[in-house]
Chain A
């Protein structure tokens, strides 16, 4: 090796860094800076997103209620006097509204709260349009309370609610045809007297959606149920089909042009825009198979098609990650191919499969576009039945509800939409946490 003709390099000191090494060090430092900058941008964007959503949406979880005693006059609510719910049902919410207005007026007078600048009509407008319906439902459910004076807790109107949350101010009320400063000042006095109270809003999570005019009553209950039903459908269909397909492709299928084509197409399917699956669902499940519109079963089927490639890709990757020596060991002992897969390979791949499945489910949970096409965007106020019948009842879905609320004109829906986003994010966070926990659990076993 040491040839006489090779020039001998000049002797260098270890203490002096050569130019070449300096250049390499500089480029490494630069690269680290880029990476750090990229992560900083990402984290900042995430923080901003969370802050904006939480600051907009947190108030959706609180709601303003007016609590007053209401005399349920028999003459108005049960003209026949026989407490027959069927006959009482003839009295519509329009029959109840004056009762509430009267009760509010009387109670304010009784408490000595001045109604300065507020007409009886304005006073009625402070109560949500949903309130008469709530009272009516209560009365129809318990006919015996007719004729009594009952302390009722009623939703305050959207603007009054907004005033206590800081969304509506006296200045904005000047410009607003729906509310006057005098109403807000009265609300202020009522709050001081303990008649108005803002507290946690369970109805936002459990209640059904409400129409454009009553944002204060809108809830996510049906959307959450619909999303939950769809997730059940997706899990029940996509997990077994996806895992079976992956095991077959990875462990049993011969390597030929046909399986190569399938492989390429599965990867491509994962990249197909989700709205295409919506069109497919509309054409096949609704128009061809005749399944009902807006139903979680159809939504679940469409999302299953969308989730399958994700699950298959994740499952195949985790099957491939199982060392071949384990398969050899099992085969060498005289296990059949299937025994080696099910006894040894699959358990080792399980954490990866679970993670892939949960990530696929989380993706499906947040998917909006295909659901719009199969009619899940409809306004639904009826709760679906319990499964399995419930799978065929019309429902909404969480992301669609967010989309829906952002389209409505009343500014109170902004907070609702953000609140719904928070609920959606909490679900996603929960599912991802599950994925992490399950993976840890299964990996720790050995």
Chain B
């Protein structure tokens, strides 16, 4: 795992990737609170984009705008444009259910359903009708669990409850569950904050592999993690997007003094 070295800033090729999500002038209000202020971000396909920033800076809120999970909060109001492949996801014709099938999400705390491992992974494909029969479903489950680097550990106990796995395994199960619906974008909200360092390393390694197929957006508190797994980094502070650029540039040569203060540990 030496390629997971803490502050290694790799020569990451982030050129000529397709634009996946374009956010333009996004504002979010919680009642009277202005939580996100005029954020513009371009998220590329097959790239890991990290959102960093101090607690309460709005990075999770912004992440939850990308698959409209904020819709479930009554007082939350989103303005501005967020385009997924050129289509406005807040367009009145868009059903958030269909959007979330394309933009999957992994949460901070592992939250497997209290069902079997198999049922956890097969739930998404089942409700979206991705498999015509049992054998296709089996195939999707195996493929997803393999992608989440969990297959070897659980292949003999697929009927065991998902909640019986260890924390790291549960989080990988949640990733497998998200991957099983074949999303185009995978949002991860501090996926390692409840995990021990070994499980964290496994999940980080996994994120790096997922980049080959998906556009991954990850919110993290750990700058080392952002540096290790991402190619693009966005720094949020007090609801504003302070700086957005290549990870190597943000960590070695930040343009904004606030970014510099944060990554050197003076604010946050």
The finding on whether chains A and B are genuine partners in a shared complex, rather than unrelated, reads yes
Residues of A within 8 A of B (CB): 254-255, 323, 325-336, 339, 343-344, 348, 445-446
> Is A331's CB under 8 angstroms from B101's CB?
no
- Chain A residues in 8 Å Cβ range of B106: 332
9 closest cross-chain pairs (CB), A and B:
A334-B101, A332-B105, A325-B111, A334-B100, A446-B114, A333-B124, A329-B111, A446-B161, A336-B97
A343 to chain B, nearest CB (A): 7
Contact B111 A333 (CB under 8 A): no
* Given contacts A325-B107, A332-B178, A336-B97, A348 and B124 within 8 Å (CB-CB): no
Residue of A nearest to B75 (CB): A255
Mask: chain B, 6-20; 1 = CB below 8 Å from A; 0 = not:
000000000000000
B177 touches A (CB below 8 Å): yes
Decide yes or no whether B98 CB sits under 8 A from chain A: yes
User: Apart from A323-B111, A326-B114, what 15 extra A-B contacts exist at CB < 8 Å?
Assistant: A255-B74, A325-B111, A326-B111, A328-B72, A329-B112, A329-B174, A331-B69, A332-B69, A333-B123, A333-B124, A333-B127, A334-B97, A334-B124, A334-B181, A336-B97
For B111, give its contact among A328, A334, A339 (CB under 8 Å). A328
Interface residues of B in 46-75 (CB under 8 A from A): 67, 69, 72, 74
Chain A positions within 8 Å of B72 at CB level: 327-328, 331
Q: Does B128 interact with chain A (Cβ within 8 Å)?
A: yes
Q: Which of B67, B74, B97, B174 contacts A254 (CB 8 A)?
A: B74
Is A326 a contact partner of B113 (Cβ separation < 8 A)?
A: yes
- The complex places the Cα of A32 from the Cα of B48 at a distance, in Å, of 58
Quote the shortest CB–CB distance from A330 to chain B (angstroms): 8
Q: Is the CB of A334 within 8 A of B98?
A: yes
CB distance from B129 to the nearest CB of A (A): 11
Distance between B101 CB and nearest chain A CB, rounded to angstroms: 4
23 CB-based A-B contacts, threshold 8 Å: A254-B74, A323-B111, A327-B72, A329-B174, A331-B69, A332-B69, A332-B100, A332-B104, A332-B105, A332-B107, A333-B100, A333-B124, A333-B127, A333-B177, A334-B99, A334-B104, A334-B124, A334-B181, A335-B127, A343-B127, A348-B114, A446-B114, A446-B163
For the complex, what is the distance from the CA of A102 to the CA of B112, rounded to whole Å? 82
CB-based nearest A residue for B110: A325
Known: A325-B109, A344-B113. A334 touches B127 (CB 8 A): yes
On chain B, which size bracket covers the interface? 20 to 34
Interface residues of B (CB under 8 A from A): 67, 69, 72, 74, 97-101, 104-107, 109, 111-115, 123-124, 127-128, 161, 163, 174, 177-178, 181
Q: Which residues of B contact A333 (CB under 8 A)?
A: 100-101, 104, 123-124, 127, 177-178, 181
Closest to A339 in B: B127
> In the complex, what's the smallest C-beta–C-beta distance from A325 to chain B, in angstroms?
4
Q: How far is the CB of B177 from chain A (nearest CB, A)?
A: 7
Contact partners of A323 in chain B: CB under 8 A:
111
Shortest Cβ distance from B183 into A: residue:
A334
> What B residues does A343 contact at CB under 8 A?
123, 127
A75 to B174, CA, bound (A): 90
Inter-chain contact A334/B128, CB cutoff 8 Å:
yes
**Assembled-state Cα–Cα distance A110/B143 (Å):** 94
Bound form: Cα–Cα A339–B123 in Å: 11
Residue picked from A254, A323, A327, A328, most chain B C-beta under 10 Å: A328
Which residues does chain B contribute within 8 Å of A325, judged by CB atoms? 107, 109, 111
Cα of A330 to Cα of B101 in the assembled complex, Å: 11
CB-nearest residue of chain A relative to B116? Answer: A446
Residue in B closest to A335 when the chains form the complex, CB atoms: B127
Minimum CB distance partner of B114 in chain A:
A446
* Cβ distance B160 to chain A, nearest Cβ, rounded Å: 10
Question: Whole-angstrom distance between the alpha carbons of A325 and B98 in the complex?
Answer: 20
| Residue numbers in A under 8 Å from B98 (CB-CB) | 334
B181: A residues at CB distance < 8 A:
333-334
For B67, give the chain A residue with the smallest CB separation.
A332
Minimum distance in angstroms from B165 CB to a CB of chain A: 12
Q: Contacts A335-B97, A336-B97; is A329 near B107 (CB within 8 Å)?
A: yes
Query: Which of B97, B104, B107, B109: most chain A Cβ within 10 A?
Result: B97
- When distances are taken between beta carbons in the complex, the residues of chain A under 8 Å from B178 are 332-333
Which residues from A are CB-within-8-Å of B113? 326, 329-330, 344
Residues of the A chain whose Cβ atoms lie less than 8 Å from the Cβ of B109: 325
B99: chain A residues at CB < 8 Å are 334
Instruction: Name the residue on A nearest B68 (C-beta).
Output: A331
CA distance A333 to B101 in the complex (A): 6
Q: Chain A CB within 10 Å — which of B67, B111, B115, B177 has the most?
A: B111
Bound form: Cα–Cα A323–B114 in Å: 11
Q: Which residues of B contact A332 (CB under 8 A)?
A: 67, 69, 100, 104-107, 178
Separation of A236 and B123 alpha carbons in the complex (Å): 31
List, in ascending order, chain A residues with CB within 8 A of B74's CB.
254-255
